[in-house]
Chain A
Amino acid sequence: MPEKKIDVRYVANLARIALDDEEVAVFQKQLEQIVGYVDKLGELDVAGIEPTSHAHPVTNVFREDVVRQGLEHESVMHNAPEETMDQFKVPKIVE
């Protein structure tokens, strides 16, 4: 077994996804394989090449700064997993 390229549990935690041991083992194998394939990008000389972040960079897009109707409060709250007093309820975050 070659050296592991990817620490699946560590990266999954960065992505805020809990995994069980079985998932870690499956992903380990699959992700090693995919990353091994992606390594072929290293074959190319990309010195001096500008990165593309958008296919058609459009710059300085402005619109009128006017007041518009927002989303309806009631229908937004309808989708809330937990709410209290018309607000999203979350677990305690401060002691």
Chain B
Amino acid sequence: MPELSIKTITELLTLLDKGDISSEDIVRDQLAAIASNDAELGAYIWSSEEDAILQAKEADRRRQSGDSAPLLGIPVAVKDVLNVKGQPCTCASRILEGYTAVYDATSIAKLRQAGAVMAGRTNMDEFAMGSTTENSAFKVTKNPADTSRVPGGSSGGSAAAVAGGEAVAALGTDTGGSIRQPASFCGCVGLKPSYGRVSRYGLTAFASSLDQIGPITKTVEDAALLLEAMAGGDPMDSTSLIEPVPAYADRLPDTLAGVKIGLPKEYLGDGLDPEVRAVIEESIKVCEEAGAELVEVSLPHTEYAIATYYVIATAEASANLARFDGVRYGARVAGADPIDMYCRTREAGFGPEVKRRVILGTYVLSSGYYDAYYLRAQKVRTLIRRDFEAAFKQCSVLLSPVTPAPAYKLGEKESDPLQMYLGDIFTVTANLAGICGISVPAGLTAEKLPVGVQFLGPALGEEAVLGAGHVFERAAGRQ
């Protein structure tokens, strides 16, 4: 049984500070957990003892020489979509098999500066397209709570690694719920920062106007620590927000007194699994007992969110994935001429979900359909943004389910993409509106499947959602 990799960042920092353990101890413990469990769990695509130990020893040297970087010696597992120099970055796609990253993403460079160890590459849906991690070209990841079920996705490897004791903490990316949904399915904390809060430089782009990088952790406080290290403006990402980064972890409150929590009625209507509903109703009570004032709000355009999302996200993906053409990197399949080479390379290199989305995105942008689909979706996106602006005039955070149902069985929804897409209803809206959201473990179903509760905050409202999540997890007796 691992002893250190199941601990939280804050617990490990205390032990490191006291000199009771070294970073090398933590990393070796985590590697042992991976060696003994990952054949079953399938959370990692790649990890290297040599590489991780080298970084851990460097962190230990820094600590001995008096360095007090905030995450010194803490291993972080990284979703296989973020570039870490010298490590593979495949996006769980055949088309990038064998690719070695040539530079650090800004989020990674900042974590390195804060002393973190980049401890391995976690499995995901190919190019972050999916909700189960079953779209990985390389392996299936299982839910640690029930290995016959999916871990969620697309950051399913990161969530399974954290929940399964194979990672102290991990990074995910969230384009339509890909951090919050797997966190909810596996029973960990997942934070999607506001659009632009964390630089996207070095993140292999899926949908550039929706993508955000964020932490998947065991506690809200750990998520706050990782966000603090990664957030901020970046000259390499012109959409990053230059507003100062608060000391999120130091400013976590111990009460919800004076906090107005909005309950969006469209998120609590029909179609919600009864066990999920029971957990959410209990969560509302917990918040009320912790001092929050509850107010019902309305987000009237919710029913159009999935349609809007799947037009905008696929359109952007079709443009972003044009770079995978077999010319400069990745796999190549020879062809009679360059066009033939592109077509064959992409046929062999992309899996079915990626092909489906790139074709859909190309269609909605094509001549004759642009106005009816893409432009119209951008206008509906404005209406969805306005819904949230109006709601946040009445409250500081919103409380909602993360998903309509708990984790489903492996293979259950693989052949019906539309049904799969509809499960994203409570998460895609935050990406469309550019706001922040967190999923916090809230309870279990009768079958012991984790269910998360989501707190949504306005743009740059990370302090509010972290605060609500922190008080909630303590009041619910989970930390």
B209 at the interface (CB under 8 A from A): yes
What CA separation (Å) do A71 and B83 show in the bound complex?
13
B13 at the interface (CB under 8 A from A): no
What CA separation (Å) do A56 and B377 show in the bound complex?
17
In contact, A34 and B418 (Cβ under 8 angstroms): yes
In contact, A63 and B196 (Cβ under 8 angstroms): no
B379 at the interface (CB under 8 A from A): yes
Question: Which 5 A-B residue pairs are closest in the complex by CB-CB distance?
Answer: A55-B434, A51-B378, A81-B332, A79-B329, A46-B379
Chain B residue, CB-CB nearest to A16: B342
A2 at the interface (CB under 8 A from B): no
B69: chain A residues within 8 A (beta carbon): none
Chain B residue, CB-CB nearest to A12: B359
* A-B CB contact pairs (8 Å), 14 listed: A8-B359, A15-B318, A16-B325, A16-B339, A17-B358, A30-B418, A39-B307, A49-B383, A52-B379, A56-B194, A56-B196, A63-B235, A82-B332, A91-B337
What CA separation (Å) do A33 and B332 show in the bound complex?
32
Chain A residues close to B by CB (< 8 Å): 6, 8, 11-19, 23, 26-27, 30-31, 33-35, 37-44, 46, 49-56, 58, 61, 63, 71-72, 75-76, 78-82, 88, 90-93
- B370-384 interface mask toward A, CB cutoff 8 Å, 1 = contact, 0 = none? 001101111111110
Instruction: With A76-B102, A90-B327 as known contacts, state yes or no: A17 contacts B337, CB within 8 Å.
Output: no
B274 at the interface (CB under 8 A from A): no
Q: A49-B379, A78-B102 are in contact. List 16 more A-B contacts (CB 8 A).
A: A8-B359, A11-B363, A16-B325, A34-B421, A41-B376, A42-B372, A43-B304, A51-B375, A53-B209, A63-B235, A81-B327, A88-B328, A91-B334, A91-B335, A91-B336, A93-B338
Chain A residue, CB-CB nearest to B237: A61
> What is the predominant secondary structure among interface residues of chain A facing chain B?
loop
Give the A-B contact count at a CB cut-off of 8 A.
174
Question: What is the interface size of chain B, counting residues whose CB is below 8 A from a CB of the partner?
Answer: 75
Interface positions, chain B 41-69, Cβ under 8 Å from A, are none
- B291-334 interface mask toward A, CB cutoff 8 Å, 1 = contact, 0 = none? 00000000001011011101100000010001001111111101
B341: chain A residues within 8 A (beta carbon): 90-91
Chain B residues close to A by CB (< 8 Å): 98-100, 102-103, 194-196, 209, 235, 238-239, 241, 301, 303-304, 306-308, 310-311, 318, 322, 325-332, 334-339, 341-344, 346-347, 350, 352, 355-356, 358-364, 366, 372-373, 375-383, 385, 417-418, 421, 432-435, 459
Q: Which of B196, B359, B375 contacts A11 (CB 8 A)?
A: B359
What CA separation (Å) do A29 and B350 show in the bound complex?
19
In contact, B328 and A79 (Cβ under 8 angstroms): yes
Q: Which of A8, A18, A38, A88 contacts B310 (CB 8 A)?
A: A38
Chain B residue, CB-CB nearest to A55: B434
In contact, A53 and B378 (Cβ under 8 angstroms): yes
Q: How far is the CB of A20 from chain B (nearest CB, A)?
A: 8
Q: How far is the CB of B234 from chain A (nearest CB, A)?
A: 10
In contact, A18 and B346 (Cβ under 8 angstroms): yes
